[in-house]
Structure 1
């Protein structure tokens, strides 16, 4: 049997290798994202995330009910008023030629957390006003770090972008840091987004959703 110390060393080597591969990859390489997620998502870290999110009534209820978006009719949502959350979500996906992410089977809290974050990722983009370009993704990653616990995965994503700036284009560092600051500050001001049953809010005006969550969009 391998010792705990040896297992930790193996885990660290795997995490370092995945981060190096991610830095070398093109932006948006989902295979590298999956590799990184697998490398840094140890059970202890996942349990800390669950405990952190369960500290709010909304988060605790989410883990109890495990609500999922289910099947989404984008065309139906796209017929809602243009100021609604549902229209904004559908228009975002249709404009970018994307399809809603379908959650796989959910058997435990960890499965639910992963499924919920995956299928609501684009909704968080819309509600927070974060673009889908590199700066927008960095801003949302910083938002995640604050709202979903400072897990290794989200911190690794931010670190990856900073390392790429160091290696390939240091001139990007200022805009990257600005994006991190904007996302972090917005998340600290906002109410928790995790566990919201977004499909009950499709017809609600986007501005009302933001106001109810105290989402204050940064200037510039």
Structure 2
């Protein structure tokens, strides 16, 4: 590919990324198809390479990427029967209270597919372990946490930008709440143990607070 073709291809990529970004800004809150479309548009080789290189610095994530480890089927009712203090109960309760289902893994054919599939299937688990609800502030806190944990993820930063733009256009009263959530999630993500690649299906029966303390996710372990 010559330089002219490369510039043209990059320009087309940026145009598509901006189009998909505006689609998700205009889409109803929680539109998963718009989210997948944005993730697909932001799939650029350089950004993906940087993210994988950063994650692979940690043995847990490196092994998960190499082996493409996924959680598989999840039985919410079985998890909900676990003691109330356990991760499994807290996770299942979060989904059932919000009328949600576990996000099913997408087809995984390469490392990028795995990255997206794993982040999708652990999305609500991370909601629980960082104590982020499903409000826009909670989602902003979670996306800031993800951005800090992945460092170079275009998708996470785009999702943060989407929430801020929606607040600016639709509900400016949320601005301070979202900025506080963003700051808290970013700080937590930088100070917490790296969670990417965690095999949560081996941890369901462990008390949630014990895991949060182990991974530096409790409020009194996070510097202000």
- Name the TM-score class by shorter chain: over 0.9
Q: Please, what TM-score do these two structures have when normalized by structure 1?
A: 0.93
Report 1:26-105 matches (<5 A): 26-105=28-107
Q: What is the number of residues matched between the two proteins? A: 219
Please say if residues 47 and 152 of structure 2, whose CA atoms lie closer than 8 Å, have aligned partners that are also in contact. Answer: no
Q: Of 180, 183, 195, which aligns to 2:182?
A: 180
Please say if residues 141 and 183 of structure 1, whose CA atoms lie closer than 8 Å, have aligned partners that are also in contact. Answer: yes
Please say if residues 20 and 41 of structure 2, whose CA atoms lie closer than 8 Å, have aligned partners that are also in contact. Answer: yes
Q: Of 5, 8, 16, which aligns to 2:7?
A: 5
Aligned CA RMSD, in angstroms, stands at 1.8
Report 1:100-111 matches (<5 A): 100-111=102-113
Shift of 1:55: 0.7
Q: Does 1:133 align with 2:140?
A: no
Once residues 190 and 36 of structure 2 are traced to their aligned partners in structure 1, the CA distance between those partners, rounded to angstroms, is: 27
Q: Deviations over 1:102-157 (max 9, x none)?
A: 21332322222111111111110000001111100000000000001232111111
Shift of 1:43: 2.2
Q: Of 140, 165, 168, which aligns to 2:167?
A: 165
Q: Please, what TM-score do these two structures have when normalized by structure 2?
A: 0.91
Shift of 1:183: 0.2
Once residues 44 and 207 of structure 1 are traced to their aligned partners in structure 2, the CA distance between those partners, rounded to angstroms, is: 37
SS at match of 1:3: helix
Where does structure 1 lack aligned partners over 5 or more consecutive residues?
A: none
Please say if residues 85 and 204 of structure 1, whose CA atoms lie closer than 8 Å, have aligned partners that are also in contact. Answer: yes
Shift of 1:94: 1.8
Once residues 59 and 129 of structure 2 are traced to their aligned partners in structure 1, the CA distance between those partners, rounded to angstroms, is: 21
Please say if residues 189 and 216 of structure 1, whose CA atoms lie closer than 8 Å, have aligned partners that are also in contact. Answer: no
102-111 vs 32-41, greater mean Cα deviation: 102-111
Where does structure 2 lack aligned partners over 5 or more consecutive residues?
A: none
SS at match of 2:46: helix
